[in-house]
Amino acid sequence: MGEIIRTSEIAKRYVMGNQVVDALKTISITINRGEYVAFMGPSGSGKSTLMNIIGCLDTPSAGRYVLNNKDVSDMTENELAEIRNKEIGFVFQTFNLLPRASSLENVALPLIYAGYNKADRQEKAMMALDSVGLGTRAHHKPNELSGGQRQRVAIARALVNDPSIILADEPTGNLDSKTSYDIMDLFAKLHQAGNTIIMVTHEDDIAHYAHRIIRLRDGVVETDVLNDNITDPALLATR
């Protein structure tokens, strides 16, 4: 299917007063189109820093990062913002929805920056909401939705621009167990539909929905293995 992400010896160093912190020491990974990958690791392992670089929210201090055949290592803030809007769909632990906007308006937001007219924005946003089972909640605001429904709106927003990759940062962190399984079922369906998914999680049971697990420790890759024990979403119905 071809690679969509390649990092070549990327590192990230922060200078804090007289202290130098090597958040990432040297990371070289390749992720192919259509993969479902989980990043795991303890606090301070570098997994969030790596996610930020892959999501073009930050740039490496050293090394190269190629996303969908584009070298984004030295891009300007404006160039990174354009790449984020076109190539990446973000799903956050805290949903990051606008509280006074409807589900439809929240989902359509990335399309404003992409230059779509209002009619096309509404059509695409409605299709994205339908795809996550929330078409009937299009005009509800976040405070009128459950936590699971809010996360579905966030996932619809991540999908609306047809991104190259979906980045999910602790997507079940604010959800109860049953709702978490429902959301992971949705991610499994998105993956089966051909989406590339990269997820950060500290929960082992959530990581096992992914087909590949990369564990980080002290700024380096500790293990990078295919998951031989993938959780079957069909089991969710029995929980």
Tens place of pLDDT for every residue, the chain, 239 residues?
699 999 999 999 999 889 988 999 999 999 999 999 999 999 889 999 999 999 999 999 999 999 999 999 989 999 999 999 999 999 998 899 999 999 999 999 999 988 899 999 999 999 999 999 999 999 999 999 999 999 999 999 999 999 999 999 999 988 998 899 999 999 999 999 999 999 999 889 999 999 999 999 999 999 999 999 998 766 554 44
CATH number for the domain harbouring residue 199:
3.40.50.300
Q: Is 19 domain-assigned?
A: no
Rounded Cα distance, 144 and 213, in Å: 35
| Backbone torsions φ then ψ of 136, nearest 5 degrees | -80, -5
In a domain, 68, yes or no: no
Q: Does 117 reside within a domain?
A: yes
pLDDT value of position 212: 97
* Residue 83 near residue 164, CB atoms below 8 Å: no
Domain of 211 in residue numbering reads as: 35-59+75-238
Could you tell me whether strands 88-92 and 196-200 are parallel, antiparallel, or unpaired per DSSP bridges? unpaired
28 is a domain residue:
no
- 23 in any annotated domain: no
Round to whole Å and give the CA distance between 69 and 164. 11
The pLDDT assigned to 16 comes to 86
Q: Let me know if residue 1 belongs to a domain.
A: no
**Secondary structure (3-state) at 48:** helix
**Model pTM score:** 0.91
Number of domains in the chain: 1
Q: Is residue 4 part of a domain?
A: no
The answer as to whether 138 is a domain residue is yes
68 by DSSP, 3-state: which? coil
